[in-house]
Structure 1
Amino acid sequence: MVSANVKVTNPMGLHMRPAQLFVREMTPFASEVTIVHKDRTINAKSIMNLMASGIKQGSEIEIRCEGQDEQAALEKAVALIESGLGE
């Protein structure tokens, strides 16, 4: 398992559009991808779970990836969050 802590920079947090982009980009990876936010573990390949998590701008999250392509998945996930998810 690999993990990284990142700060959400997207002005509206993980609302529908950025959550959809995140899920779309994470789905091809074989690894399990989860986000830890406020002691909750969220399946990062589920748009409903991401949207329901209430992750707002400035939130510190931990991204965890576990599986055969975990390092590539983590690098992509961190890059997406740091980029503001297209917004």
Structure 2
Amino acid sequence: MISKTVVVNLPADAEARPVAVLVQIASKYESKITINSQNRRINAKSIMGMMSLGFGNGDALEIEANGPDEEVAVEEMKNYIESVK
């Protein structure tokens, strides 16, 4: 199992697209991936779950993955969260 904490970098006018992209990224991997925020643990492959988090610019998220491709999965999600334009 691997986990990393990242700070969200979203533009003020961001809507659902960044969340949808995160779900697409997570869904590419075999590992179980969760996002932990505000004492909630959400399956990163669930669009409804991810949208329910309601995270915004400056929020800290913990990405946790467990499986054969966990390191690559966490790194790609981290890079996306930190660089959304």
- Aligned counterparts of 1:80 and 1:37: Cα–Cα separation in 2: 17
Give the number of equivalent residue pairs: 85
Q: Cα gap change, 1:42/1:15 in structure 2, threshold over 3 Å: closer, same or farther?
A: farther
TM-score (norm 1): 0.90
Q: Which runs of 5+ in 1 are unaligned?
A: none
Deviation at 1:12, TM superposition (A): 4.2
State the match for 1:49 in structure 2: 49
- Aligned counterparts of 1:31 and 1:23: Cα–Cα separation in 2: 13
Asked if 1:30 corresponds to 2:30, the answer is yes
Asked whether the equivalents of residues 32 and 67 of structure 1 are also in contact (C-alpha less than 8 Å), the reply is: yes
Q: Which runs of 5+ in 2 are unaligned?
A: none
Superposed structure 1 runs of 4+ greater than 6 Å apart: none
Partner SS state of residue 9, structure 1: coil
RMSD, aligned α-carbons? 1.5
State the match for 1:71 in structure 2: 71
